[in-house]
Amino acid sequence: MITAVLPTYNNEKTIMKVIDDVLKYVDNVIVVNDGSTDSTHKLLSPRQDIILIEYPDGKNRGKGYALKMGLREASRMGYDYAISMDTDGQHFASDIPAFIDAIGKEPDSLIIGARNLHADGMPGKNTFANRFSNFWFKVETLHTLSDSQSGFRLYPLKRLEGMKFFTPRYEFEVEIIVRAAWRDIKVWNIPINVIYPEDRVSHFRPLRDFTRISILNTFLVAFAFIYYYPKVAWKWLKKELTRTDESNCRKAVAIGFGTMMSMMPVWGFQMVIALFFAHLFRLNKALVLAFSNISLPPVIPFILWGSLWTGGLILNQPTLISIDSLTIDSALQSFWQYVLGAIVFAPLCGGVVGLSSYLISRLIGRHDE
């Protein structure tokens, strides 16, 4: 079951035609009057063929808030999907069947109508803003869109149930697609037609709204690094660990070997050497490559200290280096202490990580049975 949600604000010249066109393709239309100050209320209130939502205080709350109200009502009424359109006349209701066909092929996905960004009449600021938004969407989700800003969309209501959104204005359209992708909802584009009439009324305020979107992207990128990237990495690792075409023991060897190579004193060549031996011994190259790159900046101090400490135990020398008494000879001595320690410390860490991954893979395997 599909309905249409039309948030509108001061689009008295176009709203009636948009509604009439949309009703040719869907049975019900939910219109959210976002505090319009023109004749929108007078035009909409007599209509019996739409569901009209208006705020008691009549204030303008933003497109995002209006969309949330409309989507919530559509979900309450039991609809599976809701198509949103702008009411300024730029979208063609005749593209609605394309959304319906597309959702039949990819159920429970979120579909965004992709405009031809090189077509005549496309404002230059729209092209730049869309490229900007597409770039950050890819950074935040690791997925690619050709148009992430179009307001012509199909939302999977049941997949979005229970999600709480925080943004009230244009930035909501960024928040919802990013967080949908984080929820493993497929977000993708289909081509649509678009027109920008000369008398089109746009309420996008470039400076204020662009600033709000930029602030939102800052938080989304930070959260992607904290939550989404680790989630993707764990999902990939779990998939690799539960592969049935390779034993848990061989996977553990690949992980342990990759970990060892990441700590060996061959900085800059760990990955090349690791892949060479992975190919030679027919180890899982994906696992070896992933774990040969764990020597990231936050981890490097611990690797260096562990190597120096191990080397100090072997040579019976202090781990710490005194800057006051640093000489060429003491620096060379500390260097060789680190190299010797790393040669011992790296295999020990690789063994611990490999054994741990073996135990984890066994536990995952039992849990999935």
Residue 275 near residue 285, CB atoms below 8 Å: yes
Residue 369 has pLDDT above 60, yes or no: no
Per-residue model confidence (pLDDT) at position 308: 87
Per-residue pLDDT tens over the stretch 290-343: 888 777 767 888 888 888 889 888 888 776 666 555 566 767 778 888 899 999
Residue 14 has pLDDT above 80, yes or no: yes
- Report percent pLDDT > 90 for the chain: 52
Residue 150 near residue 115, CB atoms below 8 Å: yes
In this predicted model, which residue has the larger pLDDT, 334 or 84?
A: 84
Per-residue model confidence (pLDDT) at position 350: 93
In this predicted model, which residue has the larger pLDDT, 187 or 243?
A: 187
Per-residue model confidence (pLDDT) at position 304: 86
Residue 216 has pLDDT above 90, yes or no: no
As a dihedral over the C-alpha atoms of residue 235, residue 241, residue 246, residue 248, rounded to 10 degrees, the angle is 180
Per-residue model confidence (pLDDT) at position 169: 83
Per-residue model confidence (pLDDT) at position 221: 92
Per-residue model confidence (pLDDT) at position 73: 96
Residue 125 has pLDDT above 60, yes or no: no
Helix, coil or strand: residue 110: strand
CA neighbor of 319 nearest in space, from 341, 298, 346: 341
In this predicted model, which residue has the larger pLDDT, 136 or 214?
A: 136
Rounded Cα distance between 95 and 274, Å, is: 52
Rounded Cα distance between 192 and 13, Å, is: 22
CA distances in angstroms from 293 to 222, 228, 230, listed in the order given: 21, 19, 15
Determine if the pTM surpasses 0.85: no
Arithmetic mean of pLDDT, 224-250:
80
Residue 86 has pLDDT above 60, yes or no: yes
Per-residue model confidence (pLDDT) at position 176: 96
- Output the average pLDDT for the chain: 86
Residue 93 near residue 21, CB atoms below 8 Å: yes
CB atoms within 10 A of CB 248: 18
Rounded Cα distance between 97 and 111, Å, is: 13
CA neighbor of 98 nearest in space, from 108, 116, 83: 83
Residue 199 has pLDDT above 60, yes or no: no
| DSSP, residue by residue, 124-152 | HHHHHHHHHHHHHHHHHHS---S-S--S-
